[in-house]
Amino acid sequence: MKKSDYFLKGLINAACVFAYVSGVAWLGFNSQIIFGKTASFLMPLFMLLLFVISASVTGLLVFGKPINMYLNGFKKEGLALLFATLAWLVFFLAAVVIVLLSI
C-alpha cells in the first residue's frame, strides 16, 4: 500500500470518528429538549451505556483495522495506518480549537 493510501484511509477513519462524536455531542447538548427534564434512574443509565458504546465504536474505528493488519504480519503498515488516523484526529481537534477561539 502507498503512503497516500494510509493518509486517505486514516482520513476516512478520523472523519467517521469525528462524525460519530459530533452526533453524540449534539445529542448530549440537546438532551433536555429531546428527552425533557428527567429525575429518574434511566437518564444516568442511558448516558453510561452511551459512553460504553461510544468508546467501543470509536475504538473500533481507530484501532480495528490497524490491529488486524498488525496481527496478520503487516506490522509496519498497521502502525502507519494507526498514526495516520491519530494525526487526522489531532488535525480535527486543532480545527475545533481554532473555531472555538475565534468565537
Q: What is the pLDDT of residue 98?
A: 96
Q: What is the pLDDT of residue 89?
A: 97
Span 53-82, average pLDDT: 95
Q: What is the pLDDT of residue 31?
A: 83
Write out pLDDT tens, residues 22-53. 999 999 898 888 888 877 888 888 889 999 99
- In 1-103, which ranges are continuous DSSP H helix? 3-29, 31-35, 42-71, 75-102
Write out pLDDT tens, residues 1-18. 677 888 999 999 999 999
* Contact of 78 with 70, CB cutoff 8 Å: yes
Structural domain boundaries, residue 69: 3-102
Q: With a cut of 90, say whether residue 90 has pLDDT above it.
A: yes
Domain count of the fold of the chain: 1
